[in-house]
Amino acid sequence: SQQGEEDPQALSIQEGENATMNCSYKTSINNLQWYRQNSGRGLVHLILIRSNEREKHSGRLRVTLDTSKKSSSLLITASRAADTASYFCATDYNTNAGKSTFGDGTTLTVKP
Amino acid sequence: GAVVSQHPSWVICKSGTSVKIECRSLDFQATTMFWYRQFPKQSLMLMATSNEGSKATYEQGVEKDKFLINHASLTLSTLTVTSAHPEDSSFYICSARDPGTGRETQYFGPGTRLLVL
């Protein structure tokens, strides 16, 4: 089964509203990362949260991690039209290998 | 922050030809780079791990003879799609980790869009 499943698949909100995206995974991880991808572009690293952390903030971003539920959430507050993009979570379950497994992603549309 | 480049950014080729994609780490040395493939509206799928000075490690289901990877230096990895066919059309993205900042954060290239006619 797939590591890093996300919901919702698509989210449409009005500018100024908050957007919450969730990610679930199946095996123990060393850390979990969130990325952003604009259409047809590469990925931009947003935030990394380690397995011994529960919450991290970066600007308008807030990430939580619940290892007991094997889930993480990404909250974007006061969204802007420029936040429109796809957001992916990626889990590192074996840091020595350096590999990440990506979730299916959530496509966020912020309407002006 | 660390920068990874890819070249070309897009390529159109005829079926049966081979296409080489370059991935460069511009301001750090990367002993390990990763190659991903992304189909439209789908997630990134890891194809292989490129190791400097040794053979690449391929993920299950990825044909090593079709997707040739060469990591000739600490700043360059190449992916060659041999005898490309229309089903190989995809968005290919490389990434690298900066050892100077630990192994945790991957820096991604801008991607290469391949269209095989």
Residues B82-117 pLDDT 10s = 999 999 999 999 999 876 666 667 889 999 999 999
Three-class DSSP category at B14: coil
CA distance A16 to chain B (A): 26
Q: Is there a contact between A42 and B110 if contact means CB atoms under 8 Å apart?
A: yes
Q: Which residue has the tokens 């990440």?
A: A100
Token look-up 């990325």 returns: A35
CB contact under 8 A, A40 and B105: no
Examine the pLDDT at B1 and tell me if it is beyond 70: no
- Show the tokens assigned to B103: 């192994």
Q: If you average pLDDT over residues B37-42, what whole number do you get?
A: 90
Q: Say if CB A35 and CB A92 are below 8 A apart.
A: no
Degrees, nearest 5: CA angle A62-A65-A25: 125
Q: What are phi and psi of A83, to 5 degrees?
A: -80, -10
Asked whether the beta carbons of B13 and B19 are under 8 A apart, the reply is: yes
Q: What 8-state DSSP symbol labels residue B39?
A: -
